[in-house]
């Protein structure tokens, strides 16, 4: 056992109606890579926010290097040598890299010195970065480098990383891990938060497993199997997804030479994308976030209108049609952003059901809405997808992320789609519910629907897709059958390691 | 029409005076919006500053005390907006409109006894040497203190936003309050400071109207100057020097069209009266037509920190 750096004793934090952390205790050794493992909602984020001084615990205490540690705010935490890389980046898009770094430092040097330091550290750790660039124009991987460099410039003793790999290609993940191992060898402890089991098994020395706010186990992840870890995390075993053997039918969705400009200021435009999806087939589209996923979904759903022949459905050009016309024909979609895109936050589930299902489910009569029928449809979705909610009258905002995700996917699946396009279908959903959603998608394919599943979760794509392609800077890679595809090949299809290099420090 | 009646030296000199109230209000609002808050109450704060400044100047005989009191009064008024929007999370647009209505009503109440009263005004400074330059001297260097203060304020705001850490933090808060909070910056406190600064600037602008430009108190005398200041901030793409250009352009066209009216031009008066609004907006739209507009990304959004 290494010397203890951070000791946590009996930390408890309750919010109205939910206990986020209950009597959590564990210790992190100096230079140790410690995993914090748990499902969404297990209390990982609250716990690290307490360590970083963003949230005050109700009770319990922490000790850093044997001395009492109770940071009043992140400034105090940083002054004590605790740094954090956030899951949703804490970056400012309109500011430059150097300005972003300066904002995260206690006592930043003069701008010119800072730019030089950023260059030095970025070269040392193989994370090339130009301090003068505006963050809004950087890729997700580059943004993460900004966060990491911001932390490294302060010589932290404890580096907290909250789900750092969700935006990286497998090659980038490998390079990140090498950087982290070097840091650990230099004596920096790392608290690594993730629900990706294989990553934790290859990187971490100790794992603390949280479930429903409580520590349920501590183990050496290198000696446990992924299956064992998953069961500790979920608390029970769940059914793995079953694939059914199937034959593909005729081409339902055909995209040829699709190019479209992104509507957003910092978005990615689509460049010359072509593919076909047959009846009963699932096309998986991977890629690092921000490489055109949102735009592709918008172009297929009709939110972005293109030349008519760029998108065709059953041989009919539909590229020039809006979402309503495509939905009527049977081309349905579920976008990534649940609140504000897939669902209107302040409207009830019934109203949200009407918004996409009115035409296909016959919820309109002579221009008037048929509320009893709409309510009935919403209830069927809630029932079939096990959405935990008091009833269809509840506002979408009041549902947890996972439950709302089940509802918005279910709403499309229940409409008997001919073509279904989903983006990040299981994002933020617990493992058992994710398995249920994937099962529903596969079931739909078995009935002859053509599916396009856009996701950043490679394991998910390998599980459901028949063929796989990756988006990189708005272009689609060659599409290959999933069977026989290696992780390395997938990484290269996603654009490889971009311009990252292996760290140059000697451990 | 007799264009010879228009004296270019006087024109430029009065342009600077005419632009100063809007410039003061706009530069204050720019700081407020850079911190991510949309305060539509500029008009109300200006007119409150106008009446308070006038009343204090009349009672004490000191216009400078009047300006000080105007800045203070409008800052206090703006903090009521601050408390409502930052702590009680009320809607910024509705609260700002309410602030304008409150300011208009409050000012006519306070101002009743002061209608038709005369106040002492700020003396013009004669800057040594510079003021004696022919043509340029009377144009630029024989104004009162507030004209130069307003320009200095633009320079100061520009420098603080661009070069200082405080300016960086202020911009960061306006850009993404969630990220700023995650890094440990006090979003609400910084925004309240910006709101109070914006209020004080609006108050100075209003007092300049009633103490120097007119100089007299009449009900509703700001006559939309606050709204013009708001528009200038947007069309200036939140850039301090462009705010100066916008305000001077507006002031210049206002003075010019008044001169044209006096010179008896054959253009209908209605067209002349609308010209300052039209030309200012047109020019600033053309300036900001290309590229990145730089609206603070969190502008007008409420911030609530969970803890």
Q: B70-103, pLDDT tens digit by residue? A: 999 999 999 999 999 999 999 999 999 999 999 9
Residue A123 lies in a domain: yes
Q: Could you tell me the maximum CA-CA distance found in chain A, to the nearest angstrom?
A: 74
Do A185 and A328 belong together in one domain? no
**Same structural domain, A178 and A282:** no
Give the number of other CB atoms < 10 A from CB of residue A45. Answer: 20
The answer to whether A222 touches A233, Cβ cutoff 8 Å, is no
- For residue A346, CA distances in Å to A340, A349, A372, A398 come to 9, 9, 20, 9
Confidence at A460, pLDDT banded by 50, 70, 90: confident
Residue ending a domain, choose from A167, A199, A234: A234
Whether residue A222 is found in the same domain as residue A327? no
Closest CA to A86 of A15, A176, A159: A159
| Secondary structure E strands in B53-193 | none
Closest-CA distance, B270 to chain A, in angstroms, reads 40
Q: How confident is the model at residue A507 (pLDDT cuts 50, 70, 90)?
A: very low
Q: How far apart are CA A391 and CA A378, in angstroms?
A: 9
Using CB atoms within 10 A of its CB, is residue B124 exposed (0-12), middle (13-18) or buried (19+)? middle
Chain B interface disruption, residue of A103, A109, A114, most B CBs within 10 A? A103
Q: Is residue A430 one of the residues assigned to a domain?
A: yes
Q: Mean pLDDT for chain A?
A: 86
Residues of chain B with C-beta less than 8 angstroms from the C-beta of A85: none
Q: What CATH number should be reported for the domain holding residue A183?
A: 3.40.50.300
Three-state SS at A372: helix
Q: Are residues A181 and A149 in the same domain?
A: yes
Q: Is residue B277 part of a domain?
A: no
User: Is A329 in the same domain as A202?
Assistant: no
Q: Say yes or no: A79 contacts chain B, CB-CB below 8 A.
A: no
Report the 10 Å Cβ neighbour count for B193.
17
Of the candidates A293, A277, A263, which has an alpha carbon nearest to the alpha carbon of residue A444? Answer: A277
Same domain, A202 and A268: no
Alpha carbon of B60 to those of A336, B65, B69, B119: distances in Å? 64, 8, 11, 10
The Cα–Cα gap between A254 and A278 comes to 9
Report yes or no on A244 lying in a domain: no
Residues A262 and A223 grouped into a single domain:
no
What is the side-by-side strand order in the sheet with A270-278? A270-278, A251-260, A311-313, A316-317
DSSP-based three-state secondary structure for B151: helix
| A196-254 tens-digit pLDDT | 778 888 889 999 988 888 898 888 888 888 778 877 877 766 666 666 666 788 999 99
Which H/E stretch holds residue B108? helix B92-111
Cα three-residue angle A143-A148-A154, rounded to 5 degrees: 135
Q: Which residue, among B138, B157, B43, B141, has the nearest Cα to B98 in the 3D structure?
A: B43
Choose the closest CB to B182 out of A15, A90, A93. A90
Examine residue B257 and state whether it is found in any structural domain, yes or no.
no
Calculate how close chain A gets to B307, using CA atoms only, in Å: 5
Give the list of residues 6+ apart from residue B287 with CB closer than 8 angstroms, or none: B235, B236, B237, B242, B245
Q: ipTM above 0.85?
A: no
How many angstroms from the chain centroid is the CA of residue A111? 34
Cα separation of the two ends of chain A:
20
Q: What is the CA radius of gyration of chain B?
A: 20
Residue B15 lies in a domain: no
Using CB atoms and an 8 Å cut-off, which of residues 253-272 of chain A contact chain B? Answer: 265
Domain boundary among A234, A260, A292: A234
Of the candidates A278, A280, A285, which has an alpha carbon nearest to the alpha carbon of residue A250? A278
With a CB cutoff of 8 Å and minimum separation 6, the contacts of B289 are none
Which of A53, A92, A100, A136 has the most B C-beta neighbours within 10 Å, making it the best mutation to test the interface with B? A92
- Does the pTM of the predicted model rise above 0.90? no
Question: Shortest Cα distance from B164 to chain A (angstroms)?
Answer: 10
Residues A200 and A85 in one domain: yes
Residue of A69, A87, A88 lying closest to A79 (CA atoms): A69
Q: Please report the pLDDT score of residue A242 as a whole number.
A: 67
Rounded to the nearest 5 percent, the helix, strand and coil shares of chain B are: 70, 0, 25
Residues B125-175 pLDDT 10s: 888 888 888 888 888 888 899 999 999 999 999 999 999 999 999 999 999
Tell me: do A50 and A174 sit in the same domain.
yes
Q: How many CB atoms lie within 10 A of CB B61?
A: 11
Contacts of A77 in chain B (CB under 8 A): 184
Q: Please indicate, yes or no, if residue A239 is contained in any of the structural domains.
A: no
Which of B168, B292, B306 minimises the CB distance to A103? B168
Domain count across chain A = 2
Instruction: Specify if B111 maps to a domain.
Output: yes
If asked whether residues A35 and A106 sit together in one domain, one would say yes
Q: Provide the edge-to-edge strand list for the sheet that holds A67-69.
A: A18-29, A4-15, A59-64, A67-69
Q: Domain residues for B124?
A: 20-223
Question: What's the structural domain count of chain B?
Answer: 1
Give the pLDDT band of residue A506 (cuts 50, 70, 90): very low
Taking a C-beta distance cutoff of 8 angstroms, is the pair A296, A471 a contact? yes
Q: Write out the residue range of the structural domain in which residue A431 sits.
A: 251-493
**Residues A295 and A206 grouped into a single domain:** no
Q: Cα separation of B69 and B207, whole Å?
A: 9
The minimal CB distance from B294 to the residues A53, A94, A104 is found for A94
Identify the pLDDT of residue A400: 75
Is residue A63, in this structure, part of any structural domain at all? yes
Residue A221 lies in a domain: yes
**Is A499 within 8 Å of A138 (Cβ atoms)?**
no
Q: Which helix (H) or strand (E) holds A180?
A: helix A170-185
Mean pLDDT of B110-117: 92
Q: Choose between B206 and B214: higher pLDDT.
A: B206
The DSSP line for B155-196 is HHHHHHHHH-HHHHHHHHHHH-HHHHHHTT--HHHHHHHHHH
Residues of B5-39 as b/e, b for ≥16 C-beta within 10 angstroms?
eeeeeeebbbbbbbbbbbbbbbbbbbbbbbbbbbb
Angle between helices A170-185 and A140-152 (to 10 degrees): 10
Give B186's contacts (C-beta < 8 A, 6+ positions apart).
none
Instruction: Answer whether B165 sits within 8 Å of A102, measured CB to CB.
Output: yes
- Based on the domain organization, do A192 and A262 belong to the same domain? no
What is d(CA B34, CA B170) in angstroms, rounded to the nearest whole number?
Answer: 7
Rounded mean pLDDT of A148-167? 85
Q: Which pairs with CB-CB distance under 8 Å and at least 24 residues apart come from A59-63?
A: A59/A10, A59/A11, A59/A12, A60/A8, A60/A9, A60/A10, A60/A11, A60/A12, A60/A23, A60/A24, A60/A25, A61/A9, A61/A10, A61/A11, A62/A6, A62/A7, A62/A8, A62/A9, A62/A11, A63/A6, A63/A7, A63/A9
Pick the range with the lowest mean pLDDT from A62-76, A167-181, A272-286, A367-381: A167-181
Q: Which residues contact B153 (CB under 8 A, 6 or more apart)?
A: B24, B27, B201
Hey, is the C-beta of A376 within 8 angstroms of any chain B C-beta? no
- Does residue B136 form part of some domain? yes
**Residue A125 pLDDT:** 78
Question: What is the length of chain B?
Answer: 307
Classify A424 as helix, strand or coil. coil
Residue A499 lies in a domain: no
Measured CA to CA in angstroms, residue A292 lies from A163, A284, A312, A460, B246 at distances of 22, 14, 20, 19, 39
Per DSSP, what are the bridge partners of residue A368? A365
What is the secondary structure of B249-296 as a DSSP string? HHHHHHHHHHHHHHHT-SS-HHHHHHHHHHHHHHHHHHHTSSS-----
Tell me the pLDDT tens digit for each residue of B25-72: 999 999 999 999 999 999 999 999 999 999 999 999 999 999 999 999
A414, part of any domain: yes
């Amino acid at each position: 056992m290494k010397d203890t750096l951070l000791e946590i004793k009996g930390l408890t934090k309750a919010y109205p109606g939910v206990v986020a952390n209950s009597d959590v205790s564990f210790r992190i050794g100096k230079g140790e890579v410690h995993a914090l493992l748990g499902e969404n909602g297990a209390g990982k984020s609250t716990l690290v926010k307490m360590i970083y001084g963003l949230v005050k615990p109700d009770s319990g205490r922490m000790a850093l290097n044997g001395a009492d540690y109770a940071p009043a705010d992140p400034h105090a935490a940083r002054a004590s040598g605790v740094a954090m890389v956030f899951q949703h980046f804490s970056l400012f898009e309109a500011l430059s890299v150097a300005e972003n770094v300066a904002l995260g430092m206690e006592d930043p040097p003069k701008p010119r010195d800072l730019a030089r330091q950023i260059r030095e550290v970025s070269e040392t750790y193989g994370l090339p970065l130009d301090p003068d660039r505006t963050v809004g124009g950087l890729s997700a991987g580059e943004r993460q480098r900004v966060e990491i460099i911001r932390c490294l410039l302060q010589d932290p003793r404890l580096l907290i990383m909250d789900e750092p790999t969700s935006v990286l290609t497998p090659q980038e993940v490998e390079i990140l891990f090498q950087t982290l191992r070097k840091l650990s060898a230099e004596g920096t402890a790392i608290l690594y938060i993730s629900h990706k089991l294989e990553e934790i098994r290859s990187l971490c020395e100790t794992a603390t497993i949280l479930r429903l706010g409580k520590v349920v186990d501590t183990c050496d992840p290198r000696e446990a199997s992924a299956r064992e870890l998953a069961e500790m995390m979920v608390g029970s075993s769940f059914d793995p997804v079953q694939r059914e053997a199937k034959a593909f039918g005729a081409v339902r969705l055909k995209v040829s030479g699709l190019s479209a400009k992104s509507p957003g200021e910092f978005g990615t435009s689509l460049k010359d994308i072509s593919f076909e999806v047959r009846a009963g087939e699932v096309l998986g589209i991977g890629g690092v976030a921000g490489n055109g996923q949102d735009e592709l979904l918008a172009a297929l759903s009709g939110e972005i209108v293109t030349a008519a022949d760029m998108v065709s459905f059953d041989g009919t050009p539909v590229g020039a049609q809006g979402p309503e016309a495509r939905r009527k024909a049977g081309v349905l979609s579920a976008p990534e952003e649940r609140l504000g895109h897939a669902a209107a936050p302040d409207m009830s589930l019934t109203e949200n059901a009407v918004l996409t299902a009115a035409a296909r489910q016959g919820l309109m009569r002579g221009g008037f809405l048929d509320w009893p029928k709409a309510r009935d449809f919403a209830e069927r979705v809630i029932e079939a997808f096990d959405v935990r909610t008091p009833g269809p009258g509840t506002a979408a905002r009041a549902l947890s992320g996972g439950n709302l995700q089940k509802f918005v996917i279910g709403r499309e699946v229940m409409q008997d789609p001919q073509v279904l396009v989903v983006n990040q279908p299981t994002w933020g959903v617990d493992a058992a519910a994710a398995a249920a959603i994937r099962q529903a998608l596969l079931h739909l394919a078995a009935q002859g629907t053509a599916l396009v599943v856009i996701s950043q979760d490679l394991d998910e794509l390998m599980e459901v897709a028949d063929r796989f392609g990756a988006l990189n800077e708005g272009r689609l890679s060659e599409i290959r059958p999933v069977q026989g595809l290696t992780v390395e090949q997938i990484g290269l299809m996603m654009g490889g390691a971009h311009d990252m290099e292996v760290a140059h420090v000697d451990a | 029409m007799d264009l010879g009646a228009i004296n270019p030296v006087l024109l430029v000199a009065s342009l600077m005076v005419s632009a100063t109230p809007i410039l003061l209000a706009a530069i204050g609002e720019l700081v407020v919006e850079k911190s991510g808050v949309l305060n539509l109450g500029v008009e109300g704060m200006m007119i409150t500053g106008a009446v308070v400044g006038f009343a204090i100047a009349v009672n004490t005989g000191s216009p400078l005390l009047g300006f000080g009191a105007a800045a203070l009064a409008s800052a206090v008024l703006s903090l009521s907006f601050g408390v409502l929007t930052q702590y009680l999370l009320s809607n910024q647009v509705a609260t700002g409109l309410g602030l304008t209505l409150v300011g208009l009503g409050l000012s006519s109440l306070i101002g009743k006894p002061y209608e038709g009263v005369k106040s002492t005004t700020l003396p013009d400074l004669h800057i040594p040497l510079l003021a004696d330059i022919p043509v340029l001297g009377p144009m630029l260097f024989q104004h009162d203190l507030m004209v130069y203060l307003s320009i200095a304020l633009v320079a100061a705001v520009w420098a603080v936003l661009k070069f200082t850490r405080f300016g960086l933090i202020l911009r960061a808060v306006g850009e993404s309050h969630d990220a700023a909070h995650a890094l440990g910056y006090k979003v609400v406190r910084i925004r309240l400071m910006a709101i109070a600064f914006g209020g004080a600037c609006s108050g100075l602008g209003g007092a300049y109207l009633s103490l120097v430009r007119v100089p007299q108190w009449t009900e509703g005398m700001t006559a939309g100057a606050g709204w013009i200041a708001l528009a200038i901030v947007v069309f200036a793409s939140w850039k301090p020097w462009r705010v100066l250009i916008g305000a001077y352009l507006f002031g210049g066209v206002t003075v010019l069209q008044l001169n044209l009216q006096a010179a008896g031009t054959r253009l209908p008066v209605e067209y002349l009266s609308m010209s300052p609004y039209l030309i200012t907006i047109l020019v600033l739209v053309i300036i900001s037509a290309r590229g990145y507009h730089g609206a603070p990304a969190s502008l007008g959004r409420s911030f609530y920190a969970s803890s």
